[in-house]
Amino acid sequence: MGLSVFCCVLIAVLYEKVLTADAAVTKGENAADFAAVCSLIQFAKAAAKDLEAPPEINQIIKTLTAINFTLLDDNIRTTVEKNKEKPWDTIRDQHQGETKYYADHWEQWKRVANLPATDPERKALGDWEKHRRNENLKQQVKYLLEEALALQASASGNLVELKGEAIKRKQAEALYGAAGEARQIKGDTDRATFCGKGSAGEDAPGAGATDSLYGTLLCLCAGANTDTNAGLGCCLDCQGSPNDDAWTVTQDGIEIGHYLAGN
């Protein structure tokens, strides 16, 4: 999502320079914009991989759960100590009322209850034993644990959007528009309508120049019938085939777009 927004912002900035469709350009006039768009295209083509939540949140939850268990009332701790070798399934039937929520914490509670006396974590938790009657502290630890768990749940939900396939989809939308790679980069009428009109055309915006990076690139650099040398406005090597003639806007320009981006 951030990638698409970033691309849209840059495209909007480029449009402010007025991408006129029919005016001749001088050599190198669009070179800076060309470099900026090409950099974004390379960014959007980069290999995507799954992103993961920071491991620190899991460690924080582990620590807070251990402290919370240490501060729990005797009746809860006694239940856990008595059943610390049992999986939850074997005692579920005994906890269908007010204690049903034990299921949410059982594995973590069991882990703490089974810590050997010589374990460094067990020794560290011993300091918290002294505060078991401090209700204010207990509530603070409980609150922090709930916040950490909520953050973890939120992060897990957002990770769906950070999977490699989701990122690839966003990259394709940035490159080609909402339809992704299946979309052809072309207009229905003329280049002025597709790319936008300057002051002579009442500054009318062109959707083709602003909804995809390749569309922006074509409007900046594709050959026009007013060019002495197609593409020279963007780079010295941008006038070769297939950009050695005027781009017919009603025909798919993606081949030209790929060629330009490669320069």
SS3 content of the chain, % helix, strand, coil (to 5): 60, 0, 40
Q: What per-residue string of b and e applies to 244-254 under the rule 16 or more CB within 10 Å gives b?
A: eeebebeeebb
Distance of CA 229 to CAs 102, 111, 232, 233, 252, Å?
A: 75, 73, 6, 9, 21
Asked if pLDDT for residue 10 goes beyond 50, the answer is no
Asked if pLDDT for residue 28 goes beyond 90, the answer is no
Instruction: Indicate the length of the chain as a whole number.
Output: 263
Which tokens sit at 113?
A: 């209850």
Task: Please count the other Cβ atoms lying within 10 Å of the Cβ belonging to residue 105.
Answer: 19
pLDDT tens digits along 177-208: 887 887 888 888 888 888 876 555 565 667 77
Asked if pLDDT for residue 114 goes beyond 90, the answer is yes
Asked if pLDDT for residue 113 goes beyond 90, the answer is yes
Residue-level pLDDT at 12 = 46
The secondary structure of 234-245 as a DSSP string is: T-TT-SSTTSSS
Helix/strand number for the chain, H first, E second? 12, 0
Domain-wise residue ranges, the chain: 2-50+178-261, 56-161
Instruction: Tell me if 220 sits within 8 A of 19, measured CB to CB.
Output: yes
Which tokens sit at 190?
A: 């003329």
Residue 68 or 9, more confident: 68
Highest averaged pLDDT of the listed ranges 44-58, 108-122, 139-153: 108-122
Residue-level pLDDT at 54 = 64
DSSP, collapsed to helix, strand or coil, labels residue 83 as: coil
CA 31/CA 236 separation, integer angstroms: 9
Report the pLDDT averaged over residues 129-144: 87
Asked if pLDDT for residue 11 goes beyond 70, the answer is no
Report the pLDDT averaged over residues 230-239: 73
Residue 105 or 180, more confident: 105
* 196 backbone dihedrals φ, ψ, rounded to 5°: 115, 155
Task: Please count the other Cβ atoms lying within 10 Å of the Cβ belonging to residue 216.
Answer: 29
Q: What pTM was estimated for this model as a whole?
A: 0.54
CB-side neighbour CA atoms (13 Å) of 38: 18
Per cent of the chain over pLDDT 70 is: 76
Instruction: Tell me if 81 sits within 8 A of 70, measured CB to CB.
Output: no
Report the pLDDT averaged over residues 126-131: 87
Which tokens sit at 158?
A: 């957002």
Q: How far apart are the first and last CA of the chain?
A: 27
CA 72/CA 212 separation, integer angstroms: 57
